[in-house]
Amino acid sequence: MKKKYAVGIDIGGTTAKFGIVDRKGNILVQDRVPSNEHEVVEDFIDDMYAKLFPMIEEYGGTGNFVGIGMGAPNGNFYTGTIDYAPNLKWKGIIPIANLVEKKFGMVTKLTNDANAAAVGEMMYGCTKNIKHFITITLGTGVGSGIVIDGKIVLGHDGFAGELGHTIIRHGGRPHKTSALKGSLEAYASATGVRETAIEMLTEHPEVESLLRNYTINELTSETVYDCAMQGDTIANRIFEFTGQILGESLANFVMFSSPEAIILFGGLTKAGNLLLNPTRKHMEVNLLPIFQNKVKILFSELKEADAAILGASALVWDVKK
Amino acid sequence: MKKKYAVGIDIGGTTAKFGIVDRKGNILVQDRVPSNEHEVVEDFIDDMYAKLFPMIEEYGGTGNFVGIGMGAPNGNFYTGTIDYAPNLKWKGIIPIANLVEKKFGMVTKLTNDANAAAVGEMMYGCTKNIKHFITITLGTGVGSGIVIDGKIVLGHDGFAGELGHTIIRHGGRPHKTSALKGSLEAYASATGVRETAIEMLTEHPEVESLLRNYTINELTSETVYDCAMQGDTIANRIFEFTGQILGESLANFVMFSSPEAIILFGGLTKAGNLLLNPTRKHMEVNLLPIFQNKVKILFSELKEADAAILGASALVWDVKK
């Protein structure tokens, strides 16, 4: 009998969300536990088990499941370990896939959250028929998952696909946590948009802007978007600049793996064409002619609230094409 | 019976070199024909056939061969065509693999010269046991071949791996033929080293340099190397700068595909540690900690004179690991 369900677990800095997913990408039931309250990871797993295992039994027990897929920061597919995740409480190398597999008695696979998003897109989203693509998650930071020939690119050690940390402006804006200067993430993230806003407002005090009505804490990518939609010059320039940086980076990525499509995902994509138009323009002008007018830039079709659980669950389906 | 030989053909802008290669990477016999004297590609193939087919017969005839591998500028593995190669006489899309296959009655595969170099490295060179690596050819231009999980990365259209054209200095040095500014190739090539020399000598007229004894035509990457070895300050700065640009680019590539090794190849590698030391240093400082002190930078073990034929021939062996 074909197994019907998969478990998806998304471990974030404060919360772990988990749910039961069918082959079509419907989340049938979901719940969450805190992920920042347990000194040792075994206690966290016990708490999760107490809520998740009854859900599994409700759906026919482990025999009905292909397994458990997990996404976590610095999650390594090859080793099943979370390695030195800066935003998690458990330090060092945590063999979480093994621990979960033993506790639940189910096949368990792990990868980082950005790779999970790419696998989810391939299983349930807009790349069902695309074998070469890159997903870029534009959230607080910039995550990425690279798919070549229908397979996620993991690299020799499982850590491939850190495109948010590639340098796009030599000597540029310092990153808040890495020591790197001028990385994509320093610009094309919610945090980056806020910084660009502060920079532009400070550097051009003579230009009127609706953004000047907000306190510094209220200056977010959302307020910049609201002002841009009202025709505010600086707010529009901020998205133009963000799209330029993103587009230049995408051009470099295209010349690496020549994907058919790039899928954008995450909070910043709410800006729609305000972001997409300059992104596309600056990607195209920085490509060699053989790559021009070929690469689709798409917004993800997955609901943001569901995507993390879906992506994680997709790890255990056979997604080969 | 296991077939013993492969044919390798390397098509360049002025000459096509071809030879018969055994499984160990020995070129048993080789020859060449001009590649810029034939208005139509069929005439070129006829000329090559007249020299190459007798060689094949001398080695037991087509039954002893796995096939013909070809490397050519803009050669596309998927389609077997050379597409709009700027430095070849035959314009448009040339179905050369098909034509050669019919003429010789042998399986024929084509890819671009940089990808062929990577496949050659895997078959005969220093990456026999490495499944994730990138080769960078530092010649007149900068070519690249990317290998992930033992397979060359071709992308959705066969054109992946144009790393020489990725932008490393926003708004930087214009490329001579592409319209792109600040690409790796504009700096980390023989042409780029020469340009850096001219720039530095012009911008710092007060600094003494042995390089000032050469005419502008004599300023080449070789003369810069000679002067650097004699302790010349500007010549050493030129390699420091070239290595910085290359190292920063390599860091970006590592964060894409997390290779175990990067193989440098081509004329510029004669500079040895003059180039390698700054390259390694600037790669490391631009990597996230999870990638640091892991990636080997190696010089190719293939002789430059042989590499093009070897790389092309390697296309038809089964190089899967």
Mind listing the domains of chain B with CATH numbers? 5-122+305-314 (3.30.420.40), 129-301 (3.30.420.40)
Phi, psi angles (nearest 5°) of residue A83 = -110, 110
Smallest Cβ–Cβ distance between A163 and the set B130, B160, B256 belongs to B256
Smallest Cβ–Cβ distance between B290 and the set A159, A251, A291 belongs to A159
- Best mutation target among B84, B163, B286 (most A Cβ atoms within 10 Å) is B286
Burial (0-12, 13-18, 19+ Cβ within 10 Å), B233: middle
Smallest Cβ–Cβ distance between B169 and the set A170, A259, A291 belongs to A170
Closest-approach residue (CA) in chain A for B166 = A252
Kind plus residue range of the DSSP H or E element containing B235 = helix B233-257
Residue A158 forms contact with B (CB below 8 Å): yes
**Model pLDDT, residue B185:** 97
> Confidence band (pLDDT; 50, 70, 90) for A2?
confident
For residue A169, the chain B residues in CB contact (below 8 A) are 170
B300 Cβ contact list (under 8 Å, min separation 6) = B117, B121, B125, B126, B135, B263, B264, B265, B269, B307
Interface contact B166-A258, CB threshold 8 A: no
pLDDT above 80 for B196: yes
For residue A260, the chain B residues in CB contact (below 8 A) are 156-157
| DSSP SS3 for B319 | coil
Q: Is the ipTM of this complex over 0.90?
A: yes
Rounded to a whole number, what is the distance in Å from the CA of B226 to chain A's nearest CA?
30
Average pLDDT over residues B237-246: 98
- Best mutation target among B83, B166, B295 (most A Cβ atoms within 10 Å) is B166
Smallest Cβ–Cβ distance between A148 and the set B148, B157, B166 belongs to B148
pLDDT digits over A118-155, tens only? 999 999 988 889 999 999 999 989 999 999 999 999 99
**Model pLDDT, residue A1:** 62
For residue A130, the chain B residues in CB contact (below 8 A) are 156
pLDDT above 80 for A116: yes
Nearest alpha-carbon partner for B166 in A253, A218, A315, A243: A253
pLDDT digits over B61-76, tens only? 999 999 999 999 889 9
Can you read off the two tokens belonging to residue A253? 């990525």
**Model pLDDT, residue B23:** 92
Looking at the DSSP bridge assignments, the partners of residue B297 are B262
Rounded to a whole number, what is the distance in Å from the CA of A147 to chain B's nearest CA?
10
B205 Cβ contact list (under 8 Å, min separation 6) = none
Residue B43 forms contact with A (CB below 8 Å): no
pLDDT above 90 for A197: yes
Can you read off the two tokens belonging to residue A204? 């051009």
Residue B132 forms contact with A (CB below 8 Å): yes
Which A positions 105-124 lie with beta carbon below 8 A of chain B? none
Can you read off the two tokens belonging to residue A38? 């347990």
Burial (0-12, 13-18, 19+ Cβ within 10 Å), A39: exposed
| Number of Cβ atoms within 10 Å of the Cβ of A49 | 15
Closest-approach residue (CA) in chain A for B285 = A180
Kind plus residue range of the DSSP H or E element containing A172 = none
A311 Cβ contact list (under 8 Å, min separation 6) = A8, A10, A69, A71, A113, A116, A117, A118, A119, A120, A121, A302
How far is the C-alpha of A264 from the C-alpha of A252, rounded, in Å?
16
Q: How many helices (H) and strands (E) does chain A have?
A: 8, 13
Question: What is the overall mean pLDDT for chain A?
Answer: 94
**% of chain A beyond a pLDDT of 90:** 86
Residue B43 CB-half CA count within 13 A: 9
pLDDT above 60 for B114: yes
For residue B183, the chain A residues in CB contact (below 8 A) are none
For residue B178, the chain A residues in CB contact (below 8 A) are 288
pLDDT above 50 for B52: yes
> In this structure, what DSSP letter does residue A167 have?
B
pLDDT above 50 for A19: yes
Average pLDDT over residues B171-195: 94
**Model pLDDT, residue A144:** 96
Interface contact B294-A154, CB threshold 8 A: no
Burial (0-12, 13-18, 19+ Cβ within 10 Å), A61: exposed
> In this structure, what DSSP letter does residue B225 have?
H
- Strand-pair category, B261-265 with B296-299: parallel
**Model pLDDT, residue B319:** 47
pLDDT above 60 for B142: yes
A51 Cβ contact list (under 8 Å, min separation 6) = A18, A31, A33
Residue A48 CB-half CA count within 13 A: 30
**% of chain A beyond a pLDDT of 70:** 98
Interface contact B167-A286, CB threshold 8 A: yes
> Confidence band (pLDDT; 50, 70, 90) for B22?
very high
**Model pLDDT, residue B321:** 34
**Model pLDDT, residue A304:** 81
Task: Give the DSSP per-residue string, B172-224.
Answer: -SBPSSSS-BSBGGGTSSHHHHHHHHHHHHHH-TTS--GGGGS-TTT--HHHH
For residue A153, the chain B residues in CB contact (below 8 A) are 148, 256-257
Interface contact B259-A153, CB threshold 8 A: no
B90 Cβ contact list (under 8 Å, min separation 6) = B38, B40, B41, B44, B82
A43 Cβ contact list (under 8 Å, min separation 6) = none
pLDDT digits over A292-310, tens only? 999 999 999 888 888 889 9
- Best mutation target among A136, A173, A257 (most B Cβ atoms within 10 Å) is A257
Query: Rounded to whole angstroms, what are the CA distances from A267 to A162, A217, A218, A275?
Result: 19, 18, 16, 12
Phi, psi angles (nearest 5°) of residue A295 = -90, 120
Interface contact B257-A286, CB threshold 8 A: no
Place of tokens 């003369």: B223
Residue B156 forms contact with A (CB below 8 Å): yes
Q: What is the pTM of this model?
A: 0.93
The dihedral sign for the CA sequence A21, A27, A31, A34 = positive
How far is the C-alpha of B96 from the C-alpha of B92, rounded, in Å?
12
Closest-approach residue (CA) in chain A for B255 = A162
> Confidence band (pLDDT; 50, 70, 90) for B306?
confident
Rounded to a whole number, what is the distance in Å from the CA of A186 to chain B's nearest CA?
14
How far is the C-alpha of B275 from the C-alpha of B265, rounded, in Å?
12
For residue B262, the chain A residues in CB contact (below 8 A) are none
Residue A156 forms contact with B (CB below 8 Å): yes
**Model pLDDT, residue A87:** 84
For residue B145, the chain A residues in CB contact (below 8 A) are none
For residue A294, the chain B residues in CB contact (below 8 A) are 157
Average pLDDT over residues B92-110: 97
**% of chain B beyond a pLDDT of 90:** 87
Query: Rounded to whole angstroms, what are the CA distances from B103 to B43, B97, B317?
Result: 11, 10, 20
Task: Give the DSSP per-residue string, A60-82.
Answer: T-GGGEEEEEEE-TTEETTTTEE
CA-angle at A234, arms to A232 and A236, nearest 5°: 70
A50 Cβ contact list (under 8 Å, min separation 6) = none
> Confidence band (pLDDT; 50, 70, 90) for B320?
very low
Q: Which long-range contacts (CB under 8 A, 24 or more apart) does A51-55 make?
A: A51/A18, A52/A7, A52/A9, A52/A18, A52/A104, A53/A104, A55/A20, A55/A29, A55/A31
Residue A89 forms contact with B (CB below 8 Å): no
Rounded to a whole number, what is the distance in Å from the CA of B74 to chain A's nearest CA?
9
Q: What is the signed CA dihedral for B285, B287, B292, B293, rounded to 10 degrees?
A: -60
Can you read off the two tokens belonging to residue A265? 């995902």
> Confidence band (pLDDT; 50, 70, 90) for B1?
low
Kind plus residue range of the DSSP H or E element containing B110 = strand B108-111
Which B positions 245-264 lie with beta carbon below 8 A of chain A? 248, 251-253, 255-260
Average pLDDT over residues B128-146: 94
| DSSP SS3 for A108 | strand
Average pLDDT over residues A218-240: 97
Residue B185 forms contact with A (CB below 8 Å): no
How far is the C-alpha of A273 from the C-alpha of B78, rounded, in Å?
34
Question: What is the overall mean pLDDT for chain B?
Answer: 94
Q: How many whole angstroms from its chain centre is CA B292? A: 26
Whether residue A52 contacts residue A65, with contact meaning beta carbons closer than 8 Å, is answered with no
Rounded to a whole number, what is the distance in Å from the CA of B284 to chain A's nearest CA?
11
